[in-house]
A and B are shown apart, each in its own frame.
Chain A
């Protein structure tokens, strides 16, 4: 059996990669993809905890996280399309005004 802590460290490292991408990259699409990476890290931790503690709630929360991630991707990407139509740009440093 693989110890629980290995899964938690993997989830931590994956979350760190996603956080790095979100902070360092300025392309909105890659930033959204980094959010997905972070949500997936949380999923790994939840699924590992659910299996090792033999509690089905962890897996159910993973299910809901995936549903929320799908909704977030739809809204976020439509905002990206909107941003591109206004500014002809998806590089976030170039978007300086909230008021279009």
Chain B
């Protein structure tokens, strides 16, 4: 039983490797941030696979954005809670 198409995880690893020249030319701090973006995409590998999108990198970008937005929401809630505490 072989698979014709690479799994979502394999695909993301390949995609990340294809950016290795781009990554190399980045500053160390930016490299770490880029790694985190790809890690964010890998968190949604199951959904990426299920989506069966013809251009999976679009789904990977959306996954990165999703994690970024979750972080924005978390920070927003934190700030709101803090200002609530200060005002209340």
Are the chains A and B members of one assembly? no
Report B's interface with A, CB cutoff 8 A.
none
